[in-house]
Amino acid sequence: MYQRQRLAHANNHAREAEIQSTDTAERIVEQLLADNQALIDQATEIVMNGGVNVLLALAILIIGYMVAGAMKRAVVRMSSNNPRIDRTLATFFASIVRYAILAVVFIAVLNRFGVETTSLVAAIGAAAFAVGLALQGTLSNVAAGVMLVFFRPYSLGDFVEVGGVSGTVTDVNLFTTELSTPDNKTIIVPNGQAWGNVITNFSTKPTRRVDITYGISYNDDINKAMDVIRAHYDADERVLKDPEFFQGVIKHNSSSIDIVTRAWVNTPDYWAVYFDAMKGIKEAFDANDIEIPYPHQVEIQKQG
């Protein structure tokens, strides 16, 4: 009986100790929560505000990028409807509009994160000066792009030779001129290089002159050869009557008499007339027994 009482007393004492330790742990946790509640609330507020700012910044970037692209297309479209505005000028100004909108979007995004706009403008001004010194070549391309747009030595769709390369102009922007070659290659020419070199525009004038020189043998009849040549050009309807076709003996070469021909054609017909003449004259010479000579070599052997 006495042992049972002692055992019950021990169990009660253990339960009281357990309850007391649990109460102590709960009080400690409550005290910790109370002491750090302000910190927890501050961290939660920072996370919530930061998340909202990030989402808003992403929304501004996406919408701004879409608006910039739409405004660029709108400027090009409105300029295309106005015949007084050159396509090259329209593309150039459209690029300026796009970059300006993107700059405003960038400032708006930074403003969402608490960056002061006034201090940002001052920082951009100082950075622009430093970057300008470091990127003189790039800025010269921008300046050259402005000169190209306003003086317009070439326009979109023109076939030109600039900076030692040739092709059809497909784009002129702030920094580069883009050319497409006849074999479907894309060439990017920095505007500074284009403006600082000789520019040859093959598309500005509505007509071009096809100059080809034909060689005949010294044994052939010059007048007969010239009649054959003239007959070919007279039969080609693409050759213009005004200015009229011209041909003449231009040189007594080492193995041939050279006859130069000059035929005026519309600019789009230039290469077609050129290639057809090279083929047609050769066939006409063969049909009339007129020889196209080739350089002869004489070998002299000395016997000793």
78-82, 125-129, 239-243, 253-257, range with the lowest pLDDT = 125-129
Distances (CA, A) of 297 to 100, 254, 257, 291, 301: 69, 11, 17, 17, 13
**What is the per-residue pLDDT for 173?**
80
The dihedral formed by the CA atoms of 59, 62, 63 and 68, expressed in degrees to the nearest 10 = 150
Residue 105 pLDDT exceeds 90? no
The Cβ of residue 230 has, within 10 Å, a number of other Cβ atoms equal to 13
Return the CA Rg of the chain: 42
Share of the chain above pLDDT 70, in %: 67
In angstroms, the CA 144 to CA 195 distance is 6
What are the tens digits of pLDDT across the range 156-189? 899 999 988 999 999 888 788 999 999 999 999 9
In angstroms, the CA 261 to CA 234 distance is 12
Q: Domains of the chain (ranges plus CATH)? A: 19-134 (1.10.287.1260), 153-201 (2.30.30.60), 207-287 (3.30.70.100)
**What is the per-residue pLDDT for 102?**
82
**What is the per-residue pLDDT for 13?**
55
72-76, 192-196, 200-204, 294-298, range with the lowest pLDDT = 294-298
Residue 268 pLDDT exceeds 80? yes
Residue 62 pLDDT exceeds 80? yes
Residues 6+ apart with CB under 8 A from 228: 281, 284, 285, 288, 290
**Among 196, 89, 203, 193, which Cα is nearest to 151's?**
89
**What is the per-residue pLDDT for 211?**
97
What are the tens digits of pLDDT across the range 12-21? 555 555 555 5
Higher pLDDT, 208 or 121: 208
**What does pLDDT average to over the chain?**
79
What are the tens digits of pLDDT across the range 131-163? 555 455 667 777 888 788 778 888 889 999 998
User: What length is written for the chain?
Assistant: 304
**What is the per-residue pLDDT for 163?**
83
Residue 254 pLDDT exceeds 80? yes
